[in-house]
């Protein structure tokens, strides 16, 4: 079974650097913190309130542990935390609040919610320290998991642990928890990916640990040039949603790219940011000032039929290399429309596709699922490809702003 491919990134120039300021000096901040969480002090009551199952060391993936990762990356350089559905590690340094008022508002709401569980957190901390970031990402990942379960109409009770194989496990059918590893340095990510995944990646990647049947999302913050706190947040949500979809009932075949890219963007774009988790292809002319204003960008293309990607063409795309800016934005908009019509049916589409029994042929079954998705669209939404095109275009023109 092929490994999951890396996420493609469009990186932006950091505003502070553009004004001629020097980048911050590299500091291994986490190493000086020690293993005790300052916000729970490992108090069982506070840990339970914050949905903290435990701290490292613990089993990680493919029969190696966080101790093995620490030995590879350096002792005390990663903070480890386990929640009901995730195992997380981070070596992220303290960061400033995001610049935009919308992003600040969202972060303040997240901290307010977290303070209800962990009152030692300041009401408005000046900076987000490594332990606070770890708790924020634990909360964000569990929120994504809850939203995913709501989408498919399921709870933990629908996935009782029956065995050690996919479709038998307690975590959307997977036998072990989902993994999130947020590293500060590219060299650390490169070392992890080479040592434990047999791959050469140092920016952002999703990987399937096939021995323990676990989905990993890993990034190196230093590689995401121009991504402030909200940009990294959005990018992590994008990767986590991809992994939840892939891991749900087993990572046995690929889902249609228009569907997975669209649904992941639908949720990640709930985080206000100017950073984009996409790649602009060489033949695509995209105005950088408007590049993140997807409603306006899509509406402008929809006004001209020749600039729209017909659904039959969109639905046939099976290679990430073919997913440029316009494929991403129009896939997002297609899912935005379907979620507007009936999110429950989107969940049914996903569950029906993932309920197909695997045939151990990744490419052939991927083609089968792409055809199935179009049939489900007709069955659930009563739209063939042409009808989908027409109704989606009408909705975009009525719903998205002109500027």
Residue 18 pLDDT exceeds 60: no
Instruction: Report the C-alpha gap between 290 and 279 in whole angstroms.
Output: 15
Instruction: Report the C-alpha gap between 374 and 395 in whole angstroms.
Output: 20
Query: Whole-prediction pTM value?
Result: 0.94
Instruction: Return the pLDDT at 322.
Output: 85
Bridge partners, residue 313, by sequence: none
Query: pLDDT band for position 10 (50/70/90)?
Result: very low
Q: Which of 303, 305, 285 is nearest to 295 (CA)?
A: 303
3-state secondary structure of 88: strand
pLDDT in tens, 315-361: 999 998 889 999 999 999 999 999 999 999 999 999 999 999 999 99
Q: What's the chain's Rg over C-alpha atoms?
A: 21
Q: What's the chain's average pLDDT?
A: 92
Residue 83 pLDDT exceeds 70: yes
DSSP code for 382: -
Instruction: Return the pLDDT at 287.
Output: 76
CB 229 within 8 A of CB 97: yes
Instruction: Return the pLDDT at 9.
Output: 46
Instruction: Return the pLDDT at 282.
Output: 81
Instruction: Return the pLDDT at 280.
Output: 84
Most confident of 16-25, 268-277, 349-358: 349-358
The H or E element that residue 214 is part of is strand 214-220
Instruction: Report the C-alpha gap between 164 and 212 in whole angstroms.
Output: 8
Q: Which of 50, 37, 197 is nearest to 113 (CA)?
A: 50
DSSP code for 80: E
Query: pLDDT band for position 1 (50/70/90)?
Result: very low
The phi, psi pair for 56, rounded to 5°, reads -70, 160
Q: What percent of the chain has pLDDT over 70?
A: 93
CB 320 within 8 A of CB 250: no
CB 184 within 8 A of CB 91: yes
Instruction: Return the pLDDT at 267.
Output: 98
Query: pLDDT band for position 21 (50/70/90)?
Result: very low
CB 168 within 8 A of CB 75: no
3-state secondary structure of 203: coil
DSSP string of 308-361, one letter each residue? S--HHHHHH---GGG--HHHHHHHHHHHHHHHHH-HHHHHHHHHHHHTSPP-S-
Is-cis flag, bond preceding 57, omega within 30? yes
Residue 365 pLDDT exceeds 90: yes
Instruction: Return the pLDDT at 171.
Output: 98
Q: Which of 106, 127, 123, 107 is nearest to 115 (CA)?
A: 123
**b or e along 2-20 (b: 16 or more beta carbons within 10 Å of the residue's beta carbon)?**
ebbebbbbbebeeeeeeee
Span 121-147, average pLDDT = 98
CB 343 within 8 A of CB 151: yes
């Amino acid at each position: 079974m092929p490994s999951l491919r890396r996420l493609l990134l469009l990186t932006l120039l950091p505003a502070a650097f553009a004004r001629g300021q020097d980048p911050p000096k590299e500091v291994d901040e986490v190493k000086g913190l020690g293993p005790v969480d300052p916000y729970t002090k490992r108090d069982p009551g506070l840990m339970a309130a914050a949905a903290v199952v435990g701290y490292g060391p613990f089993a990680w993936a493919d029969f190696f542990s966080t101790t093995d990762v620490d030995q590879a990356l350096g002792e005390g350089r990663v903070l480890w935390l386990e929640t009901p559905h995730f195992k997380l590690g981070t070596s992220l340094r303290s960061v400033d609040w995001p610049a935009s008022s919308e992003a600040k508002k969202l972060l303040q709401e997240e901290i307010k919610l977290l303070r209800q569980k962990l009152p030692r957190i300041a009401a408005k901390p000046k900076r987000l320290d490594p332990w606070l970031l770890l708790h924020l990402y634990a909360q964000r990942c569990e929120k994504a998991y809850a939203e995913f379960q709501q989408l498919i109409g399921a709870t933990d009770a629908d996935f009782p642990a029956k065995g050690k194989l996919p479709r038998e496990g307690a975590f959307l059918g997977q036998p072990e928890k989902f993994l999130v590893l947020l590293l500060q340095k590219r060299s650390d990510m490169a070392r992890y990916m080479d040592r434990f995944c047999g791959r050469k990646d140092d920016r952002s990647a999703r990987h399937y640990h096939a021995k323990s049947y676990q989905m990993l999302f890993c990034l190196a913050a230093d590689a995401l040039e121009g991504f402030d706190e909200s940009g990294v947040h959005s990018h992590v949500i994008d990767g986590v949603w991809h992994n939840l979809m892939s891991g749900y009932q087993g990572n046995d075949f690929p889902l249609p790219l228009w569907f997975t890219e669209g649904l992941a963007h639908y949720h990640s774009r709930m985080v206000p940011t100017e950073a984009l988790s996409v790649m602009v292809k060489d033949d695509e002319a995209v105005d950088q000032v408007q590049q993140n204003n997807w409603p306006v960008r899509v509406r402008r293309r929809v006004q001209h039929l020749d600039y729209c990607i017909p659904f039959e063409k969109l639905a046939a795309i099976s290679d990430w290399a073919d997913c440029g800016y316009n494929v991403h934005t129009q896939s997002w908009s297609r899912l935005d429309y379907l979620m507007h019509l009936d999110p429950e049916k989107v969940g049914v589409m996903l569950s029906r596709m993932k309920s197909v029994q695997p045939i151990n042929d990744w490419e052939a079954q991927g083609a089968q699922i792409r055809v199935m998705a179009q049939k489900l669209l007709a069955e659930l939404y009563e739209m063939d490809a042409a009808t989908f095109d027409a109704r989606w275009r009408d909705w975009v023109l009525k719903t998205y702003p002109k500027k």
